[in-house]
Structures are given as C-alpha cells and as structure tokens.
Amino acid sequence: MTKNIALENTTINELKESDKKYFLHPTTSIKQHQANGPSFIFKEGKGIYLTDINGDQYIDAMSSLWNVNIGHGREEIAEAAKEQMSTLAYSSCFQGFSHEPVIRLSEKLASITPGDLNVSFFTSGGSESNDTAFKLIRHYWKLKGEAKRTKIIGVKRGYHGITVGATSATGIDQFQNMATAKAPDFVHATTRFKTNCELGDKSDPDYAGSIRGTIEKEGTETVAAIIVEPVMGAGGLFIPPAGYLQALRKLCDEYGILMIADEVICGFGRTGKMFGVDNWDVVPDVMTVAKGITSAYIQLGAVIITERLRNELAEISPNDVFFHGFTYSGHTTACAIALKNIEIIEREDLVGNAKRMEAELMKGFKYLENNHSIVTKSRAIGLLAGFELLKDREKGVPFDQAIMAAPKVVGECHKRKLIVRPVVFEGSNSIVFAPPLITNKEQVETIINKLSDAISAFERQGHL
C-alpha cells in the first residue's frame, strides 16, 4: 500500500496559487491554467504509479511523456547518480576533453544500435537532437560541394520537437502556427504510408504528396535528408505497413539523400524492439534519440550517425573545428544514469516484456471494440498503442469537433485515476498509451477496465 503523502489543505492551496502565479506550463492553455490552476500536483512515483499531493494514486499509462520506460522510483538510478556526482558531476567535452561515462555510453550505444550507427553526439533532449541532425547534415553537404542540398522533408502529422528547426520539421499545424515564421527549407509530404508511391507508382492519385513525389517536386539536388518517426507518436500513433520504411530506405539510396530516423519516442524498447527501425530491419544514416535513453531520470539526448558519415566528415574537413556543441553535451552524470538505465532494460528483458504486453493490450482493445460501438482502429506495437473514437464506426462518421470526444473520455479516465492522452489534430479523436515497459498483464487488464468505465460514462452523456 502506498504511504499517505497527502499535505495539509493550507499547503495544497498555497502550492496551487503559487503554480498559477509563477509557473508558465508547457503545452497548456494559459487561460485555463489561470482559471483553474494545475490539473495535478504529483508528489511520488513508484513503478507505473504516480501519487498526488492528496494521496490519490494514478496509473501513469503514458510513462509521463512517453519516456519513463523503466518506471518510476528506481533506486538504482538514484544510486548511480549519487556515485557519479560524488566523484565527477560534470566535465566539459569541448576541445576533445572526455570522461569515462561518455566513452562507455558511446560504446554501449554502438553495441545496441543497428548497422554501423556507431558514433554518438550528445544533447539534452529530442528537439536538440533533431536540430543537431539538420545542422550536421547540411554542413556535410556543404563540405561535399553540394551546398544546394539544404531541404529537410518531413511528413504531415510527424512530430520532431519544439526548437525552431524541430518545429519547422514537425508536420502539425498547431505547432507551426505557434512560430512567427517557419525556418527555411523544411517541406512536408502530405501522403502517409503509401508504399507503392515511395517505390515509384505514379498512377496513384496520392503520388504527388508522397515523399518521393515531394523530392521530385523540390528537385533531388536540393534535398539533404528526410526525417521520419518509425512509428508516428504525438501526431496520433500511426504504425507504418510492412515494407514502407524499407521503401524509404531504398528511395534515399536511389537519390543519395540521407535518412534520419527520429527514435525519440520509439527508442529503448518502447516498440518491443530496442529501436523502432529494428521492427523492419532498416538502418538509417542518422538516428536521433532522447526520452528512453535515461527513462527521464535526467535530461539526455543523442544523435547517432554511421561510421561512414563520421569518416567522410573527418576526411573532407581535416583542419576544421566542428563548431557545434551544447554546454551539456555528454553531461557526465547523465551518461552514468543512461548506462544504468540501459543495464536495467537489458537485465529485466523490458524489451521482451513490451512485446508480450502488446498482445495483452490488443486483447483489451478487442474487448473495448466489442463492448463500445464508438471504439475503432485499435493498434499497438510493443507498449505504444492507441485507438480512435467515431460516432458511427460502421459508416466512418466522426464526432462533431465541438463535442471533444477524446478529451472528455480522457477526463473520465482521470476521474478513475488513469492517465492517458487525447489526440485531436485535424478533427481526429484518438486516445494513445505508452505505459512503462515494466507493466504486467494484471495492470494492463486494470487499464482496460478503467478505460471501459470511462467510455461508458461518456456514452451516457448523450453524444451518440
């Protein structure tokens, strides 16, 4: 039983008022926050559970932000951090300086990434990783005498972060509209997962919007790279069909374009493989990671490139300093935590558990579809999953946007102490999940039962 960690009412009210007064929340309605204060104030995490300041325990079926892969409250991680901080908390990696944790982590990543993705540059998170990838690749093409190759092609509904470059690569209008202006030379393909188009089928009416069609429209000599998530996460949880990523790899090879796999969500076991691309045996030229590399116990990201790319950069710029680096690139304590995190993932076979729990989630989703006529299009890959809500699934009729079906169901989930996430971009009503990789069968069943109760409560509201 979780210990009672509720605070006095006066303290709780003080925290809520201070939150409203002093804290500008990320990805939150400022107006609603000022009116209502914080949605939750959490105090403790253990396993797949979070406990708030009232002492109420919630199932964290999102791993917070798709990132607490090994679950909350792992004392091994705290001990690893304490040990490293007690000896060397931080040391710069500029000008060739190094330390043992960053060397060991780089070596470990090389041993678990596919192909010859053996060289790591470290950042503090996913947005920094993707911005670094764009900058590094454009630098590469300039050094090779192909300075016109500056364009980065992403995909509609793809999500790659919120720095200027990462936002520009993101194919979600709400994030684009937040920026005053999109950075130049970012383009979005509008056709998703048409393998035949990527293989060159120009008879398909959607060909022009495919990645291949977009490359040809922009001019192959201007395209530096494409960036794709192996499984699209924040945009709505979309899993590519068999052969699609292989077709993109072949397309990039055909035109001499570099392929970036954004593994920020998918990496480190989330999809039932160590990396998302491993599900399709694809080796990109560049892989960006963050989130699961430390299971969010500390900030860390990385850009992992092939040895071939690193060797070319060394050859064509032998006397040039690589003028790119963050203060916290290769942060000593962060690297030590990442090493311990990966050790836990491997030792406890959390990648295998994610794959086994995929089957349990799909059983649960089938139960939801059989008992709730509004649930449809269930999908899961490892412990990355979701389904959609339709007013009439037989006819494909969506809910009116004003009803906000997915947010209302998620609100009912919160009442039942379950944290999941709604996705409502472009009028969709999806609910997505990414529980910690330690989640077991009984916990999956509890999640499904709470979901069913929440959906029933929404159905009783009379929106059908």
CATH of the domain at 44: 3.90.1150.10
The 3-class SS string of 95-150 reads HHCCCHHHHHHHHHHHHHCCCCEEEEEEECCHHHHHHHHHHHHHHHHHHCCCCCCC
In a domain, 414, yes or no: yes
d(CA 46, CA 141): 47
Confidence of residue 178 (pLDDT cuts 50, 70, 90): confident
* Residue 178 domain boundaries: 75-347
End position of a domain, from candidates 328, 347, 366: 347
- Indicate if 367 and 342 belong to the same structural domain: no
Do 309 and 211 lie in one domain? The reply is yes
Position 308 pLDDT exceeds 70: yes
Secondary structure of residue 170 in the 3-state scheme: coil
Weakest mean pLDDT among 4-18, 277-291, 372-386: 4-18
Residue 54 shares a structural domain with residue 154: no
Given a cut of 90, is residue 280 above it in pLDDT? Answer: yes
Reply yes or no on whether the pLDDT at 3 is more than 60. Answer: no
For residues 329 and 356, membership in a common domain is answered with no
pLDDT at 1 over 80: no
Q: Give the pLDDT of residue 321.
A: 86
- CA R_g for the chain: 23
- What does the pLDDT read at residue 4? 54
225, 366: one domain: no
Number of domains the chain contains: 2
CA angle 71, 73, 76 (to 5 degrees): 95
When pLDDT is averaged across residues 141-148 and rounded to a whole number, the result is: 96
Residues 433 and 404 in one domain: yes
pLDDT at residue 177, as a whole number = 83
pTM listed for this prediction = 0.96
In the predicted model, is pLDDT for residue 182 greater than 90?
no
- Among 7-21, 73-87, 130-144, 346-360, which stretch is predicted with the lowest mean pLDDT? 7-21
Q: Output the pLDDT for position 147.
A: 95
Domain end, chosen from 347, 382, 409, is at: 347
> Of the residues 347, 382, 397, which one is the last residue of a structural domain?
347
Reported as a single tens digit per residue, the pLDDT across 234-256 is: 999 999 999 999 999 999 999 99
Report the CATH number at residue 262: 3.40.640.10
Q: For position 2, what pLDDT does the model report?
A: 46
Mean local confidence (pLDDT), 33-48: 96
Q: Are residues 427 and 332 in the same domain?
A: no
Asked if 150 and 216 sit in the same domain, the reply is yes
Q: Does residue 27 lie within any of the structural domains?
A: no
* Mean pLDDT of the chain, nearest integer: 96
Q: Answer whether residue 30 is part of any domain.
A: no
